[in-house]
Chain A
């Protein structure tokens, strides 16, 4: 339900499905990318292609902080920026984002306090987080992202996997007004799984309402 934007239904189903696929991938990026970066650079260096590894080493050569510290610092700074942008009037809000992103970011990179690769990672994560159509879901991703960063700092990919397992367990136990959080993936013996999830099927195949909602009127309007 959190990946469905209203315009999906107004556009051709090919475009709707494509955008939705992107949203699913983006949610994973927003959730896992900082943690994944920490785990491969501090635990599993053999996973990085050699040339990329050399680039990362070179960019991080004179940066004093460990990767995890700089990632956590940048994530928090990013949240601060968003919050500052919200509170200020719209005209000044833009100034804040320019100062924050360009001036502080650029200066931090040039002063070798933060490696440029970390900035890229945080930027990617932030952008991916903004593509979520549902603000509550985006907020949840922001919080869990920090938890995953902690998991990865402690135990690398293993910690990341462990955290993900616990998260999936947690999400599976949630019900909202009797509807499972993961429906239609977990409810109804997978009946609606192909219709309105990763792929937005053509409208003529979606005449009925999702059965997990247990509506009295089974048909969609219109």
Chain B
């Protein structure tokens, strides 16, 4: 008897203290009633009404199963059939409003727990970035692990819809872009919680990787839309102020120590091209204080690279050649870094994590200048030192045709 009482008491207590207000028990829904939202596009309507436009893409399951059963891929397709993604969009005064409206014209329950990418249109980013991400970071169903991209030159809706004309699924494309970003180190992936931290620490400045739509030739004069990365969007005071393009964006990766691997092409003494592969790089930010005033900042970069390709036929395995190549590489990288610094100072945005680096290096001095950092920052004098080292030249000592040349 005692056991029965204890049993029922435990059960009662456990059920009644679930913390659910409406009902005792959590709500259930069947998994096949869900539509998994995987890519979310956020735009601001251009008419100045400050309304948002949400576009979502999720995998088109009906299309694939019908293909499998019918066994043919070139069937006549209408509407959403034949597309890789189901795209829905809706407008609303706020993002939450738009999201709710989206639900009303979808036949399945939209499930946001599997969203992987937020694509933010240029217009919305120019207005205010934190308006765009607040709902997505506050709502419990969405993940803060999702990645964020700014769409350069078009709206997110355009990008998602136009890319959907191609034969790829947008999520797969973005995934592969993210994987390959490390090979060039001209952009990076950014998770939304990293962005939140970044905005808080770096005085509302940020850098967010960009993507844009490109036309790509494929299969005889048939142009297809493709997505590619294009450097960074720079934010100052939560607003998009400018872009850093891929021609110099490696400089930004060098300054922020996010270079994994990259190819630097330089000319050697004979005017032929030489490719160097960066295998390791480290930039140190060294602040110089005069009393409590920040006088100048030295960016000291050490780059180690391998010689991957030589197009000339000369004997390169000597000190003078290697040191010449090293100096050329330093020059190229220093140039890129200088260009980036110039742009960033012009944008008045501390997106290079300079303040964080100073804080870690000189915490006491940093506290003195912390409050007026954004006034100091645009006028700081930066010096850049790049030290290159060519470490290896792989198996071949002499290029092919070297002997013949002699």
Contact = CB atoms under 8 A, between A and B. Distances in A.
Interface of A: 41-43, 45-46, 48, 50, 53-54, 56-58, 60-61, 63, 66-67, 153-156, 158-159, 162, 165-166, 169-170, 173
B380 interface: no
B35 to A, nearest CB: 9
Given A45-B34, A162-B11, A162-B14, A50 B114 contact: yes
Contacts of A153: 28
B9 to A, nearest CB: 11
A158 B11 CA distance: 12
B297 to A, nearest CB: 43
List 10 A-B pairs, minimum CB-CB distance, nearest first.
Answer: A46-B113, A60-B32, A41-B31, A42-B28, A155-B25, A50-B114, A162-B14, A57-B32, A58-B61, A43-B28
A46 B141 contact: yes
Interface in B31-88: 31-32, 34, 36, 38, 59, 61, 64-65
Contacts of A48: 31
Contacts of A42: 28-31
A28 B116 CA distance: 33
A46, A61, A153 — which one has the most chain B CB atoms within 10 A of its CB? A46
A220 B30 CA distance: 55
A135 to B, nearest CB: 26
Interface in B151-198: none
14 contacts: A41-B30, A45-B29, A45-B31, A46-B113, A46-B141, A53-B114, A57-B31, A57-B32, A58-B61, A66-B30, A67-B30, A155-B26, A162-B11, A166-B11
B1 to A, nearest CB: 13
Contact of B111 (A45, A155, A169): A45
B7 interface: yes
Interface in B273-326: none
Interface of B: 3, 6-7, 10-11, 14-15, 18, 25-32, 34, 36, 38, 59, 61, 64-65, 111, 113-114, 116, 141, 143
Nearest to B68: A58
Contacts of B6: 169
B11 A53 contact: no
Nearest to B27: A43
A158 B19 CA distance: 12
B10 A154 contact: no
Contacts of A170: 7
A159 to B, nearest CB: 8
Contacts of A166: 7, 10-11
B31, B61, B113 — which one has the most chain A CB atoms within 10 A of its CB? B31
A116 to B, nearest CB: 13
Contacts of B113: 45-46
B59 A54 contact: yes
A43 B111 CA distance: 12
A157 to B, nearest CB: 9
Contact of A60 (B31, B36, B111): B31
A50 B64 CA distance: 17
Contacts of B34: 45, 57
A53 B25 CA distance: 24
B27, B28, B38, B59 — which one has the most chain A CB atoms within 10 A of its CB? B28
Given A46-B114, A158-B18, A61 B26 contact: no
A72 to B, nearest CB: 15
Contacts of A45: 29, 31, 34, 111, 113-114
B20 to A, nearest CB: 9
Nearest to A40: B31
Given A56-B31, A57-B34, A173 B10 contact: no
Nearest to A38: B28
Given A50-B38, A54-B36, A67 B59 contact: no
Nearest to A170: B7
Contacts of B32: 56-57, 60-61, 63
A88 B18 CA distance: 48
Nearest to B62: A61
Contacts of B116: 50
B39 to A, nearest CB: 12
Nearest to B7: A166
A154 B29 contact: no
Contacts of A53: 31, 36, 114
Nearest to A157: B26
A40 to B, nearest CB: 9
Contacts of B114: 45-46, 50, 53
B268 to A, nearest CB: 48
Given A43-B26, A46-B141, A154-B25, A61 B36 contact: no
B145 to A, nearest CB: 11
Contacts of A159: 25
Contacts of B61: 54, 57-58, 61
Contact of A165 (B14, B18, B25, B29): B14
